[in-house]
Amino acid sequence: MHKRVAVIAAAVSVMAATSLTACSSSGSGGKNSFTYWSTWNKGEPQQKILQAAIDSFTKDTGIKVNVQFDGRQVFKKVQTANNTGNVPDMVDDASENLLGGANSGILRGVNDVYAQKIPGEGVPISSVIPAAAISAMKDKAGQYAMVPYETLSTSLWFNDETMAKIGATPPATFDDLLATCEKAVAKGIACVADDGTIPDYNAYWITALVMRYLGPNWLRNAVADKTGQAWKDPKFLQAAQDLQRLVKGKGYMLSGYQGSKLPAGQQAWAKNKALYLLMGSWAPADTKAYAASGFKYNSVAFPSVPDGHMTQDFNSVGFAITKKAKHPEQAAKFIAYFLAKSQLTKISTVADNIPSRPDIPAPAVLSSVQKQLADAKEPSRYLDGAQGAYPDFWANVFDAADDPLFFGTSTPQQFVDKLVSSSKSYWSSHS
């Protein structure tokens, strides 16, 4: 076992001996069933994969899974149900939603689940999931909030053929990126596409730059600073200045990006009207239906800055167990069952996504992302965890300051000043 995985395994095994056994005694009739609410809609590839796994799990173990496929609003449904007795034993969703649920007391830690052995493999879950991914799932209490089965990450996407057409190579530094912008514009191609009506997509750029200059967790900690003074860090201003170099570059941004509605921007990118799309690993799946003929998807980690940090976000979809679960032991058995290579491989081969196990190859179109995750020197959370930890602040303060900067209507210093004043005002009424 790899040394860093062994550390995780040792940590999770401390609680394993008692937690599941103690919890599984609650409720009645729990030995042969459990309830599960899922983030997938009927007909989606992941839904079909999970349903097939449920069917074979029931056949192999005799444990019935009462599953509901509720779609992307599943966790809102769990939050509402938490005030009643109708709470599922298990839920799956995106990591930031589940971490929020753990921090608000709706979900319990799953340290003990990581110690579950995978059927047919005889090893604990903790030995097949990268330590970086596990540690990124830690809640405020220091417990692991979820077990990921699908990994997402943000990368700089491009068409290999377009890159060759403009006579450029993938950028290693931010200055390289701006140089490729010049080459793209010279060939009549915009540099960057974006759907500006999606604030989080806009925030990908400043977040990536901030994490390059200041490392993981800085942004989340700055949001939590009730004085607002953290935003005055010179490196934060430098990140904003670099972003301005991009958005103010003549012809760099796809025309009309400020008001573009999803999927218009990414559609234009896939039709070779722009060189880059900064997007999650779902970019190929979301755009392949209208991509130009012969479009060759490729991606690199966000470019470096001088003396900076090389972070890579681990944004996952995975399983969590509710605090009010009556049958957590049965849910944990299913989690271990689904993490078996024989099941999880289908996330790659059928759903065209990256399985949480690095020993399962990603689909070819996402192999570059899987390598970025494997090479990550400093793992981070989606949007540095700031949006997930402070969703109201993020929407009403950070996005409100970032959009004008990203649209080129405010200066870097105005961006900083607005965050300083707005943060102080926000926290004075949200203490």
DSSP for 351-382 reads T-SEES-TTSPPPGGGHHHHHHHHH-SEEE-G
What 8-state DSSP symbol labels residue 2?
-
**Is 21 a residue whose pLDDT tops 60?**
no
> Residue 30 has what pLDDT?
52
Domain residue ranges in the chain: 3-152+315-358, 154-312+384-428
Quick: pLDDT tens for 184-239: 999 999 999 999 999 999 999 999 999 999 999 999 999 999 999 999 999 999 99
pTM over 0.85: yes
Rounded CA-CA distance 150/389 in Å is 21
Quick: pLDDT tens for 288-327: 999 999 999 999 999 999 999 999 999 999 999 999 999 9
> Residue 430 has what pLDDT?
94
Higher pLDDT, residue 260 or 377: 260
Quick: pLDDT tens for 90-127: 999 999 999 999 999 999 999 999 999 999 999 999 99
Structure tokens belonging to residue 321:
């167990």
Q: How confident is the model at residue 8 (pLDDT cuts 50, 70, 90)?
A: very low
**Is 274 a residue whose pLDDT tops 80?**
yes
The per-residue pLDDT of the chain, averaged, comes to 92
Quick: pLDDT tens for 129-156: 998 889 888 888 999 999 999 999 999 9
> Residue 428 has what pLDDT?
96
Cβ neighbours of residue 162 under 8 Å, at least 6 residues apart?
184, 189, 272, 275
Q: How confident is the model at residue 20 (pLDDT cuts 50, 70, 90)?
A: low
Cβ neighbours of residue 297 under 8 Å, at least 6 residues apart?
157, 159, 160, 283, 284, 365
Rounded CA-CA distance 166/163 in Å is 6
Cβ neighbours of residue 178 under 8 Å, at least 6 residues apart?
245, 246, 249
> Residue 425 has what pLDDT?
97
Confirm whether 3-152+315-358 and 154-312+384-428 share one CATH topology: yes
**Is 385 a residue whose pLDDT tops 60?**
yes
Classified by CATH at the fold level, domain 3-152+315-358 comes out as: D-Maltodextrin-Binding Protein; domain 2 (3.40.190)
What 8-state DSSP symbol labels residue 289?
T
CATH of 154-312+384-428, one of 1.10.600.10, 2.60.120.460, 3.40.190.10, 3.30.365.10: 3.40.190.10
> Residue 27 has what pLDDT?
36
What 8-state DSSP symbol labels residue 124?
B
Q: Which residue has the tokens 């301005």?
A: 244
Nearest Cα to Cα of residue 37 among 5, 74, 73: 74
For 294-327, b/e burial (b = at least 16 CB within 10 A) is: ebebbbbbbbbbeebbbbbbbbbbbbbbbebbbb
**Is 3 a residue whose pLDDT tops 60?**
no
> Residue 1 has what pLDDT?
35
For 2-22, b/e burial (b = at least 16 CB within 10 A) is: eeebeebbebbeebbeebbee
Cβ atoms within 10 A of the Cβ of 172, count? 12
- The H or E element spanning position 33 is strand 33-38
> Residue 60 has what pLDDT?
98
Quick: pLDDT tens for 37-51: 999 999 999 999 999
